[in-house]
Structure 1
Amino acid sequence: MRFFLVMAGLLTAMSIRAQQSPALKLVACEGKAQGTYYIVKYLSADTASLESRIDSVFGVIDQSLSLYKPGSLINQFNATGHVRMDEHMRTVLQQAIFTSKATGGIFDITVKPLVYLWGFGVTKPSFKGIPPADSIKKTMPYIGYRYLRIKGDHLSTTKKGVQIDCNGIAQGYTVDVLGRFLEQQGIENYLVDVGGELCAKGYNQQHKIWSVGIERPSQGDTTYEPVQGLVRLPGKGIATSGNYRRFFDQGQTRFAHTIHPITGQALHNNIISVTVIAKDCFTADAFDNPLILMGVEEGLRYIAKHPEYGLEATYIYKDKDGGIKEAFSDGFKAYMEF
């Protein structure tokens, strides 16, 4: 999802001076991948573009985790209930199961049948809008990360019909893989943005730490107004989850593509978005969906209760009168410039 933080779009800005060699030039690569855009910016003495090699990285990960790619490893698993994983799939599955346990099942990649039932999958259901209650009830027995088994590089399920969807975590993983790829090329200063999930290291061409600007929606939800602040990314990852890109409205209620795996319901609370900062984008992306499903108060309590995960977050939400409000975890403001 796009990321001019808090609602989307990306602005690179900076703060904090540093010394850089004047020989380093800004190189930018951009394109489309994983159903969204990507932007990679880095400083290098060699201005030859790495775009073709970056595209190859996407290709390898898609062959593992893309539901849109016939024959991908994830599609093989969903068709048969077992697969021999590559390094990418194994790493993502291990993190997914860890996050499921850490959130009491609020994050769960076996949510795929519900995602499709609500109309947010690769294929669409025959009806539009809220699924019939009996359809949700019939689907729920197939939801549960506890049905997944990892043994070495082999993934299987103990229950026929269980399927997985890694879209809630794969982009964050991809961002970090691209960051490591750049470092392997000797690049120490970069920013990677895949559909609004980002990581950054070092400084930009103005010799300042990479930062992203934060936006909030207007009262009408159709335009965006900048908040007075920038979020610095000193070697961190950042991800956002919201109700503003993939959704449908029914009556006075907006239903977003984030599905609660315990209730079977699509997100329809008062939260517009949650933005999460973590040690890497993989972690931030894994926790943004469960934090938005928890809600503002529970989510902030969760972050405070679990400092071991290194999470900070800001919520944008609507109060009972429809006004747009913001709430921050204790440490989030330390990353902001006002």
Structure 2
Amino acid sequence: MYIMTDRLANVKQLVILFFVLCFSTSTAAQRLVTLEGKAQGTYYIIKYLSDDTTSLEHAVDSLFADIDQSLSLYKPGSLINRFNNGNRVQMDHHMQSVVKRSLEISKASNGAFDITVKPLVDIWGFGVRKPTVQKIPAADTLQRILQYVGYKYLQVHGQQLTKKKKGVEIDCNGIAQGYTSDVMGRLLEQKGIMNYLVDVGGELCSKGHNQHGKVWTVGIERPATDDNAYPVQALLALDNKAITTSGNYRRFFDQGGTRFAHSIDPISGEALHSNIISVTVIARDAITADGFDNALILMGVERGLSFISQHPAYGLEAYFIYKDEKGKIQERFSPGFEKLLIR
């Protein structure tokens, strides 16, 4: 996840943190407008250039409400809950877009990303209903639940989504915030705004330039060379691209000396407990980056980087932070990601 500069103080974790940077003397006549608030259980920050003083706050809030009514597991009457409680649902355009891209990413990643993972998310204690104490589920429980997990159990005909097996449920939280960032960007473009940076819960998309006529630039926190030192800052040019992350530093629990994170492997049923700390993904849009960051963190460094090089059509670049066999923090980039770093 990413947060802006004003959220950076006192953060000591090795997480990916982003902030908007300003450069040189202003060359743009338009003023910078900032909208901030809470939605989808997280924060949002939208920055854009405009000479129109009309507030877009109402339009933004309405769009968040529409998406929640479609995809929020916390809304009892949402379309996603109606599907999970029944057998089929007539999707709106939000749900249709997210389900379609989710199935594409599931197929491309051989099931490493799969929205039918919801029963596993619930049993590991990362779902809507939080257990008093999180613990590792029994092996036989995981095997029983796995029979309901698999993107091939979903069938789409036009706007109708149908489950092929009773008990199948979906959870779009691994991709919905990326989708929301993209949709907010399109809302701005419909208003004639072509220079913006949208951050929904740390999933960012950008277009155009900042108020100084420069490409939107973000800061990325990287491991320091000294294990006892704070992470160091590097700069990254976000030129009409999106950036998201998946990691083990926000939602997790520790048991038996092992950290179990909220990223669930749909194939094994296991919660992430590897040496991977985080993976940051750049793509053309945030929905693609958000979906693939879940798949790549489960693939791991070598498989993940290999996947990116073998699938150039997706336009992915990635940055892994991980621990080596000696427990030392290390980092690996895809070649394209490293080229975007400003030295």
- TM-score range with shorter-chain normalisation? over 0.9
Is 1:249 matched with 2:250?
Answer: no
Q: Find the aligned partners of 1:223 and 1:139 in 2 and give their Cα distance.
A: 43
Q: Find the aligned partners of 1:199 and 1:298 in 2 and give their Cα distance.
A: 26
2:28–2:212 contact (8 Å) kept in structure 1? no
Match of 1:39 in 2: 45
Is 1:175 matched with 2:174?
Answer: no
Match of 2:288 in 1: 283
Q: Find the aligned partners of 1:306 and 1:157 in 2 and give their Cα distance.
A: 29
Q: Secondary structure at the match of 2:171?
A: coil
Q: Find the aligned partners of 1:192 and 1:159 in 2 and give their Cα distance.
A: 38
Q: Find the aligned partners of 1:18 and 1:309 in 2 and give their Cα distance.
A: 36
Is 1:162 matched with 2:176?
Answer: no
Letter in 2 for 1:68: Y
Is 1:59 matched with 2:65?
Answer: yes
Q: Find the aligned partners of 1:14 and 1:211 in 2 and give their Cα distance.
A: 8
Match of 1:235 in 2: 240
Range with bigger deviation, 144-153 or 210-219: 210-219
TM-score normalized with structure 2 length? 0.93
TM-score normalized with structure 1 length? 0.94
Q: Secondary structure at the match of 2:21?
A: strand
| Residue ranges of structure 1 left out of the alignment (5+ in a row) | none
Letter in 2 for 1:271: I
Match of 2:342 in 1: 337
Q: Find the aligned partners of 1:224 and 1:186 in 2 and give their Cα distance.
A: 42
2:154–2:162 contact (8 Å) kept in structure 1? yes
Q: Secondary structure at the match of 1:13?
A: coil
Match of 2:11 in 1: none
Per the alignment, do residues 220 and 57 of structure 1 end up closer, same or farther by CA in structure 2, a change over 3 Å counting? farther
Q: Find the aligned partners of 1:115 and 1:223 in 2 and give their Cα distance.
A: 35
Q: Find the aligned partners of 1:189 and 1:322 in 2 and give their Cα distance.
A: 42
Task: Trace 1:1-338 onto structure 2 (pairs within 5 A).
Answer: 1-3=1-3, 7-13=15-21, 20-22=27-29, 24-125=30-131, 128-216=134-222, 225-227=231-233, 229-338=234-343
Q: Find the aligned partners of 1:160 and 1:316 in 2 and give their Cα distance.
A: 39
Range with bigger deviation, 70-79 or 248-257: 248-257
Per the alignment, do residues 135 and 224 of structure 1 end up closer, same or farther by CA in structure 2, a change over 3 Å counting? farther
CA drift at 1:216: 3.5
Range with bigger deviation, 305-314 or 119-128: 119-128
Per the alignment, do residues 217 and 243 of structure 1 end up closer, same or farther by CA in structure 2, a change over 3 Å counting? farther
CA drift at 1:2: 3.1
1:3–1:240 contact (8 Å) kept in structure 2? no
Letter in 2 for 1:10: F
Task: After the TM superposition, list the runs of 4 or more consecutive aligned residues in structure 1 that deviate by more than 4 angstroms.
Answer: 3-6, 17-20, 217-224
Q: Find the aligned partners of 1:250 and 1:284 in 2 and give their Cα distance.
A: 30
Per the alignment, do residues 324 and 168 of structure 1 end up closer, same or farther by CA in structure 2, a change over 3 Å counting? same
Per the alignment, do residues 334 and 217 of structure 1 end up closer, same or farther by CA in structure 2, a change over 3 Å counting? closer
Per the alignment, do residues 14 and 296 of structure 1 end up closer, same or farther by CA in structure 2, a change over 3 Å counting? farther
| Residue ranges of structure 2 left out of the alignment (5+ in a row) | 9-13
Letter in 2 for 1:88: H
CA drift at 1:217: 5.9
Q: Find the aligned partners of 1:177 and 1:169 in 2 and give their Cα distance.
A: 13
Per the alignment, do residues 64 and 191 of structure 1 end up closer, same or farther by CA in structure 2, a change over 3 Å counting? same
Per the alignment, do residues 65 and 18 of structure 1 end up closer, same or farther by CA in structure 2, a change over 3 Å counting? farther
Per the alignment, do residues 212 and 299 of structure 1 end up closer, same or farther by CA in structure 2, a change over 3 Å counting? same
Q: Find the aligned partners of 1:223 and 1:143 in 2 and give their Cα distance.
A: 42
User: How many residues were matched structurally?
Assistant: 335
Q: Secondary structure at the match of 1:59?
A: helix
Q: Find the aligned partners of 2:15 and 2:228 in 1 and give their Cα distance.
A: 11
Deviations 1:263-320 (A, max 9, x none): 0000010111000000111110110000000000110011011111110000011112
Q: Find the aligned partners of 1:272 and 1:163 in 2 and give their Cα distance.
A: 28
Identity of aligned residues (%): 60
RMSD between aligned residues? 2.2
Q: Secondary structure at the match of 2:236?
A: strand
